[in-house]
Amino acid sequence: MKTFATLFFIIALAALFTSSAAADEALARKLLVSQGCKGCHVLEGEGGKLGPALDKIGARLNADQIRQKLLDPKADNPKSYMPGFAHLKENELQAMIDFLSNRK
């Protein structure tokens, strides 16, 4: 009985994390459209070509670098046309960071 309870707990916990990750990915994909990212960046074959493609951004930048780029895109490129996203809620920003850092 104790083994069954432990197994049930592990399965329930895994399901919770899986659904949370799926919800975060859905939020990130929604934000990429609503915030206009795909107007300048290609992702999965769709979007503009003014900015760099986002398909393998996680191979070029780590999560901290992506956060910095989203919050202050002009910090390392004063001529950047990209707007900052400091207006996003922390959970929205983190969803985008997680999603983009996993594009490798």
- Please report, to the nearest 10 degrees, the dihedral formed by the alpha carbons of residues 77, 57, 65, 100 taken in order: 120
The pLDDT tens digits along the chain (104 residues) read: 567 666 555 665 555 455 578 889 999 999 999 999 999 999 999 999 999 999 999 999 999 999 999 999 999 999 999 999 999 999 999 999 999 999 99
Q: To which CATH superfamily is domain 2-101 assigned?
A: Cytochrome c-like domain (1.10.760.10)
CA nearest 85: which of 37, 53, 50?
37
64 phi and psi, to 5 degrees? -65, -40
- Give the type of residue at 92: E
Residue-range domain boundaries for the chain: 2-101
| Structural tokens at position 91 | 């959970």
